[in-house]
Amino acid sequence: MTTYADAPVATRTVKGKPKGRWFAQVGWRHAVGVLAVAFSLFPILFVLSAALNPLGTLSSTELLPTGASFENFTNLFDKTAFAHWFLNSLLLAGVASFASIFLSALAAYAFSRMRFAGRRVGLLTLLLIQMFPQFLCIVAIFLIFTTVTDLWPAIGFNTPWGLFLLYMGTALGANTWLMKGFFDTLPKELDESATMDGASHAQVFFRIILPLVAPILAVTGLLAFIGSINEFIIANVFLTQPESKTLAVGMFGLVAGERNNNFGMFAAGTLLTAIPTVLVFQLLQRYIVSGLTAGAVKG
């Protein structure tokens, strides 16, 4: 009686399929997936190894650490103003994201549901503004805030509220366009039915429309939060005092002059910096897929 081991290699099967056919149809995908996971985990493992490296230098960091110590984390809080940077970034990113989402939702609702003079020009203007990168307006904004600092120091340089206004303004255009495409997918009969029942525009917006557009709110909120907490160019220009810096600016200062000596603290800081973004992503993940696909297909 012929067994599987005695059968020719070409005729052996995996779950009813020849091995060659299985690899051509499915197996290569597993190989690509394993390579992609290994490629994505490599920098994370290196940063974790550097954060736990007792020496805390770049030259002594290895992929697999030979020793482990939390001294880099201790030095990060004792020798730097990391706690202030962390708090400033959370405050700016959270408040700016919430404010930009709320204002963008109001603007998107108006552009989607109402017809008024200048509507098309306003939409085109928002789209054209997004074509230019932020660093092109750094000089103009710097000159404006030089005057603002002299007149209203509370929203000038080295203040979180001045940077909050900039972050909120830079996110409005893109968020408004994303939300408008999602708002357009909702049938207008919902608004008309609620209006016939005596609901105002505010009641229609807050009680009917907003619950239906929760996925796109989650997507734009996540993008705005990540963009604000990782922003460096504008924050580096406007924040110079150690206590007012954000995580991006403060962490850059650790490796700007002495990259080798402070690399351990820098790696420890990057691990802690990733925690807020991961938590926000986990909280919003059930909305993200539906929000991205609906905006891409119907927007």
Alpha helices in the chain (DSSP H): 19-22, 28-52, 71-79, 82-113, 119-129, 138-151, 160-183, 189-196, 201-203, 210-212, 214-230, 233-238, 247-256, 263-298
pLDDT at 260: 65
Percent of the chain with pLDDT over 90: 1
* Structural tokens at position 205: 């917006």
pLDDT, position 267:
85
In this predicted structure, what is the pLDDT of residue 10?
46
189 vs 20: which has the higher pLDDT: 189
**Whole-angstrom distance, CA of residue 89 vs CA of residue 163:** 11
Which segment of 31-35, 258-262, 283-287 scores lowest on mean pLDDT? 258-262
Residue 64 is predicted with a pLDDT of 67
Assign 136 a pLDDT band (cuts: 50, 70, 90). Answer: confident
Query: pLDDT digit string (tens) for 117-128?
Result: 888 888 888 778
Higher-confidence position of 111 and 28: 111
pLDDT at 4: 47
Residues 6+ apart with CB under 8 A from 113: 183, 188, 191
pLDDT over 70 at 290, yes or no: no
Question: What is the model's pLDDT at position 33?
Answer: 86
Mean pLDDT of the 170-190 span = 83
pLDDT of residue 163: 84
Using alpha carbons, select from 235, 205, 209 the residue that is nearest to residue 89. Answer: 235
**H or E element, residue 13:** strand 13-14
Least confident of 14-18, 52-56, 167-171: 14-18
- Pairing type for strands 13-14 and 17-18 reads antiparallel
Which tokens belong to 19?
Answer: 């091995």
Using 50, 70 and 90 to split pLDDT, how confident is the model at 233? confident
> Residue 57 — very low, low, confident or very high, per pLDDT cuts 50/70/90?
low
Partners of 14 in the beta sheet? 17
What global pTM score does this model have? 0.76
pLDDT in tens, 82-102: 988 999 899 888 888 898 899
**Average pLDDT of span 158-185:** 82
Write down the pLDDT at residue 294. Answer: 54
Distance of CA 163 to the CA centre of its chain: 17
Task: Say what the pLDDT of residue 86 is.
Answer: 92
